[in-house]
Chain A
């Protein structure tokens, strides 16, 4: 096969002198796209990742599956008995189910953002990590979509939220933020699935070509929808991807804004805030990018994808994380400053609760996770380029962002206007179900990597095709094709 030469016509001849060699090595080390190994080798490496799950990974998968099943059993019990085993009470009616919804929707933002927004902005670093991020979105959304249903008192009636004409002349209430939420989430799920699927097509076809005749091949040929890689298909693919990328960005922004409106549209002290829309989006991107970093760490280590996911990607993502951290701090500070200055009694009750009250340990832990750890560490290049430390920081941010939602939903609700009804939330059955949900996401993520190349090889290839090194006199420089 001569894919290599075909797709990389501008690749210069091997460096001549040792000096040149050094220059080239330096640039390549820094930049994946300048380090082509040839399309076929790259394809084989990416496909190989589907079989590189070691014994420990499989054991992890089994354990995660078991935990997810346990959560399923918990839900079954809840279906039959009612929500009594949760920690909800007569003041706090929303608990960890809604927290999980917000959290997973938030996680779901990163994939789309990295994939679509970076694409629109022509951000080349996205190429090898786009699919890993999109997959996070896919399963986080699946989990997030489940929680509103788990949360319901009578989940078997959930279809009443869908506007269907009926003889009872009953429609959903389009005034309700929850109804908007249901529709926004559905739109986002459908959009995200299609977006990731379109991106998958060339690689599914590639997998089809490289698999022996067995059920896998049949699966791939069915899924690849007859992709042959013709020019017309590529052209269509290009335009569809671009359109989708543009369209899904406003959807993404709207979804989390609407999720935030579930809270902001109420008159519950602590919730009733105009800043919630952008604040939630920033929070979502913050936790989402951190989640992608966690996934990247996993993939690089367990599936030995060191070729694709390099320190430079970690570096870029860590910088992005730092920016999101600052943005989040800005919004959080803004929110609190306004509350504090306004000095409304019910709002101040909540501020007191968070800063010095019962919720103070949680609040300060959140500040530590969300502010101290990332801001204190991420400015260091050495940290940004160390996947291990970044992994730990990203996990801290997950904890912090989960706590943030926990404080908003599970704690603030306990301070309604009438002080007689103050309450505190001790989750019960929600904890195993939340653990199950995390397991569910990670479990399916791993299963996904078994069936689908988690690296978008065609995108990486495209990137390499469009980039290269060129020798001008004695100087070797990067160049970028203007074909884009």
Chain B
């Protein structure tokens, strides 16, 4: 099958579809029919066409298929052929459609004289690209690129090439999603690759963080979890969840273990020690445990963790005696000041059981996976900006003004940068402080590829292609440039860059890269066929092996201490548990009404931030549902209503990330509070990664009370449902 998608895009720019098919306006009796000027080859009026592409809402890189009817994208579904998510998709991924049709999307490039004023003047695309080219040329090595983890893989490669060619510092790939899921700490504890586990045939899983609702690969793990719970012959996996606040994973877990914050790794270490001492799980496992688990006083650890020693023994025994146990690291412990050690302590449990994370696939040459930068690297760039070494800053797919703690100093550093260019399609917090915004095509209108972050034992390169023509192409602004084309156009004016980026447009680049891939699962003898199949099936991956290979981890014994908390216990009596909620993710979802208005699964809250607090603590402090609380940490304070939450430790309050936007469109603006304001910019023991967990806070009532926008009835939810 050979589809000349590119030609389609070129010629059908003006091919508006028949406008009103749905009776939105009851009284509109006589509707005008607008047929295509030139219909796309595949289109039959009234029948849908599906295009395979890659989700751009989370960094996971799920394969999606988009249902297109009469030139409008109407539904995003999981790509059943895609080996990562196998036809399934999470809430965030499905809501991406609203990014495409967001009412506050920019129609074209805009500039503002004074950053932060939000007084934008429209600009013609050609003019904007010229201005940018001038700036970039002038900046030379003073160019810096800051991109998020959802950035298309081809842009990652182009950015890297461009920076290298112009002697600019290497681009920084850092966003809140990566930060709050401790990509950096997890990777550095696991030999540079994010650990992913195959739990389909596991009979027991110990998880140290939410992996079904958030985390690096929620959909992948969702599919796996389904298989884990419904194995052959009625076998059912057992899941124990170690976390201070019950996440949705904790809710489906067979056992929720509310370990004291910062002590999760201690519990893991103690369990490993118990296995060694009690000789659980046979001689081999006990021996390995003896090698890897250092001496600890189990009773003391249990008390420190606020658990019963018996419970730890029981859990350790269950783990050791299970046929295929798996421990999944992540969550808050990975974001503590000893995050790397904590992750390793969890990995020791796996080592005892004889499992390791799935092996990363071999990446074809020329293509690089999107490896997140560490917080230290991001800080280094901020420092450069602060020192005036950065003349032009390009911000793509990230929103550092919103995402970074105040203490990181990004906002102040921006003032020292001559030209700040954002590529955000909606004015977000960073774009508000930019001099110029060149709105990118959303991922549904753009090209690209993406190396899937999860190491599922083989390489998955997901394809990205436009499913609709760029939605905004005004006369006044001219045809829209994709960011890749902007980069290639700018490169044409810089001799060093033109050598590194010789392609006429990004599609030429993509065709070359994809055409050079070895024959994958879909074969194809010539580059053109491979390119067509790559687009048709949603990507490139090798034919499926029988079993994904697990990698063997080299581990040394880890003596892990309780994570240090930030803030004095007597001044700040409560732990703060920050998490990314299922609907809003790290804040990307906040601008989309489907996600704002869909209830959070645990609290059924919509449209707001909230503070989860244990009923006992709430009772002691006289706090009721809906009381506006002032939460203060050593770094700042925010206000949000209380939600009395039965499944959280009494010494902990939990606040979801994602709200508190000052910009980012009408649905996100001035809604809730940004929990990042409570975090500091401290790094962990390695000095590389952000230590975002174990911040201590104090909570006060402000005296105000609101009616919570919740879906449930709080009284009814306490009742039992009788089946």
Contacts and interface: CB of A to CB of B under 8 A. Distances in A.
Interface of A: 91, 345, 349, 418-423
B713 interface: yes
B723 to A, nearest CB: 11
A423 B713 contact: yes
B27 to A, nearest CB: 12
Interface in B688-718: 712-713, 715-718
Nearest to A349: B719
A422 B722 contact: no
Contacts of B22: none
B721 A422 contact: no
A349 B715 CA distance: 11
B722 A420 contact: no
Contacts of B716: 418-422
17 contacts: A91-B713, A345-B722, A349-B719, A418-B716, A419-B713, A419-B716, A419-B717, A419-B720, A419-B721, A420-B716, A420-B717, A420-B721, A421-B713, A421-B716, A422-B713, A422-B715, A423-B713
A345 B716 CA distance: 13
Nearest to B719: A419
Nearest to B712: A420
Contacts of A349: 719
Interface of A is mostly: helix
Interface in B213-266: none
Secondary structure call for the B interface: loop
A20 B617 CA distance: 87
A91 B718 CA distance: 18
A421 B716 CA distance: 7
Given A419-B721, A420-B717, 7 more contacts: A91-B713, A345-B722, A419-B716, A420-B713, A420-B716, A421-B716, A422-B716
Interface string B574-616: 0000000000000000000000000000000000000000000
Contacts of B722: 345
Nearest to B722: A345
Task: Indicate the member of A419, A422, A423 with the most B CB atoms within 10 Å.
Answer: A419
Contacts of B715: 419, 422
- Specify which of B712, B713, B717, B721 lies most central, judged by the most chain A CB atoms within 10 Å of its CB: B713
A420 B603 CA distance: 12
Contacts of A345: 722
Nearest to A424: B713
Contacts of B717: 419-420
A91 B713 CA distance: 10
A345 B720 CA distance: 10
A53 to B, nearest CB: 46
A420 B713 CA distance: 6
Contacts of A420: 712-713, 716-717, 721
A76 B712 CA distance: 33
A92 B23 CA distance: 29
Contacts of A423: 713
A421 B714 CA distance: 9
Nearest to A418: B721
B408 to A, nearest CB: 42
B602 to A, nearest CB: 13
A418 B723 CA distance: 10
Contacts of A418: 716, 721
A130 B709 CA distance: 54
Contacts of A422: 713, 715-716
Contacts of B721: 418-420
B46 to A, nearest CB: 26
B446 to A, nearest CB: 39
Nearest to B718: A419
Nearest to A91: B713
A420 B712 CA distance: 5
Nearest to A358: B715
A384 to B, nearest CB: 45
B251 to A, nearest CB: 15
B717 to A, nearest CB: 6
Of B712, B715, B717, most A-chain CB atoms within 10 Å: B715
Nearest to B713: A422
A420 B717 CA distance: 5
